[in-house]
Amino acid sequence: MANAKAVLDDRDDRTQEEVDEALTALQQAISGLELSPVVEPEPSKTVLRALHESVSTMSNTDGQYTAASWSALQTALAGAAQVLDDESADQEQIDAAAVELGTALAGLEVAKAPQPSPVHVKRIKLNQLKLQLVKGKTFRLEDGVYYSNGRAAYSGKTKWTSSNTRIATVNSAGRITAKKTGTAKITVTTNERNAAGKRLSKSITVKVVKKKPKSKVTKVSAAPRRA
């Protein structure tokens, strides 16, 4: 091509035959030109491998993430491992696996902490089934409030009432005062409610007498009866 260029540059001093030969040589040289093959770069797994190694160290044994999001991450992690092991994987496959794994990692959802079960009253008990008091005397009833979580309270969780305060009164601590002869119903009610939304109550009938009745003793012989 250099010779042809020199002839063409000096064509004024050249014969037509030399110019034609130079032109022919130039055309042949041009037609013989070949494009160099395009060399594709080797696929790179550097990013995918680093991401895979990072995710592989993660754990969900404590249930920190939701089951669904953790499962999606494990699926993407397995797919990335397959691409890393595939020597024939091209860059497009490698990039797609990296995007899928990164998306699954970003999509991890933190699981909500379990909410404790609501605590409610299950039952209430009194330490007496019935009571007889002499007029003017007092007696303190004891109550127990039992909860669904196994806990119990023995004071301050109830309200006391009397059906007839002329016969017997009761204070906030459950102490009954006998006023006059007769009967009255003493009721204790929980301040808190049960699972059905109702307060629980327990009642006892108090009988007020003028004086304590004498105990009657029946004599019994320990000796065997005669036939």
- pLDDT string in tens for the chain (227-residue length): 566 556 556 555 666 677 667 667 767 776 766 766 666 678 999 999 999 999 999 999 989 999 999 999 999 999 999 999 999 999 999 999 999 999 999 999 999 888 888 899 999 999 998 999 999 999 999 999 999 998 998 877 899 999 999 999 999 999 999 999 999 999 999 999 999 999 999 999 999 999 876 655 555 545 555 54
**By three-state DSSP, how is residue 135 classified?**
coil
- DSSP assignment of 6-45, as one string? HHHHTGGGS-HHHHHHHHHHHHHHHHT--PPPP-PPPP--
Based on its alpha-carbon atoms, the radius of gyration of the chain, rounded to whole angstroms, reads: 51
Q: Which amino acid is at 171?
A: N
Residue 199 CA to chain centroid, in angstroms? Answer: 31
Contact 119, 195 (CB under 8 A): no
- DSSP assignment of 165-194, as one string? TTTEEE-TT-EEEE-SSEEEEEEEEEEEE-
Residue 101 CA to chain centroid, in angstroms? Answer: 25
Question: In 3-state terms, the chain is what percent helix, strand and coil (to 5)?
Answer: 30, 25, 45
Read off the tokens for 38: 């395009």
* pTM for this predicted structure: 0.49
